[in-house]
Amino acid sequence: MKLSDAELEIMEKVWELGAPVTAAQLTERLEEKGWKPSTLLTFLARMVNKGALAVEKQGKQNLYRPLVSAADYRADAARELLGRYYSGSVKSMVAALYDGKGLSDGELAELRAWLDEEVKGRE
């Protein structure tokens, strides 16, 4: 599932608030966007159609809950990025970040420590 940038912002708030959430709660959390309530409702309907959210009517309001976790969505997005731009090669992706000065010494140390733990976990 691919979410637009605006839909991802909404999804981040849904994950942050926990489930279920109302459109009013999301409107309040996204007020800096300046969206009209109808705009937010359009985004929510699209996200329901995409399978990102489930909606349940409770009284006069709709309650929305995520159908995908933040971790699962990010993992899928990372796999898509890796496949699309780096032919599935993690090494190529990390090399591109490093060569472009995208990784600091601290980030490299953090990555090395994480990799060391992953290797230990497989032994």
- Convert 20-64 into a string of H (helix), E (strand) and C (coil): CEEHHHHHHHCHHHCCCHHHHHHHHHHHHHHCCEEEEEECCEEEE
> For the segment 5-62, what is each residue's pLDDT rounded down to a tens digit?
999 999 999 999 987 999 999 999 999 999 998 999 999 999 999 999 999 999 999 9
* Confidence check: pLDDT of 98 > 80: no
* Confidence check: pLDDT of 95 > 90: no
pLDDT the model gives residue 88:
92
Topology of domain 70-122, CATH: Penicillinase repressor fold (1.10.4040)
Q: How far is CA 4 from CA 33, 44, 47, 65, 91, in A?
A: 15, 12, 10, 18, 28
Q: What percent of the chain has pLDDT over 90?
A: 71
The full set of domain ranges for the chain reads 5-66, 70-122
Q: Identify the three-state secondary structure at position 66.
A: strand
What value does the mean pLDDT take over residues 99-112? Answer: 82
Domain 5-66 carries which CATH code?
Answer: 1.10.10.10
